[in-house]
Amino acid sequence: MEDSTIPSSLIGAITFFLILGIVALVVVKETVKVILKPALVIVGLLILAVWVGILDETVVGSGFEWIGDRFLAGIEGISSWVADSWEARTGDG
C-alpha cells in the first residue's frame, strides 16, 4: 500500500478498535441480559411496595436523603483533595 494516502497504521488501528468494540458489545450485551432481569424484578417489587404502602414516604425520603448525603460528601471530599493538591503544587495558601 505504498501509493495509498491512508497510512496502514491508521487502518490497523481502526481494525483493532473495531474488533475490540465488537467484543465489548457482545460482553456488555450478555451482561445486561444477566443483570437486567433481576433488576427489573427488584424495581417491579419496589414499585409495588410503594404503591401498596409498605414503603411509605418517610422510608423512601430517608433513603434518598442518605444517597444525597453520601454523594455530596464524596463531591466535597474530591473538591477538598483537588484544592489541597492545587495549593501544595502552586504554593498558595
Q: What is the pLDDT of residue 6?
A: 75
Cα 51 versus chain centre, distance: 29
Instruction: Name the pLDDT band for 81 (thresholds 50, 70, 90).
Output: very high
Q: Give the Cβ contact number of residue 49 at 10 Å.
A: 14
For the segment 19-75, what is each residue's pLDDT rounded down to a tens digit?
Answer: 999 999 988 888 888 888 888 888 888 888 777 776 666 776 777 788 889 999 999
pTM score: 0.39
Instruction: Name the pLDDT band for 3 (thresholds 50, 70, 90).
Output: low
Distance CA 66, CA 69 (A): 5
Can you list the alpha helix ranges (DSSP code H) found in 53-90? 57-90
Residue 2 clears pLDDT 60, i.e. is over it? no
Q: Looking at per-residue confidence, does 50 or 10 come out higher? A: 10
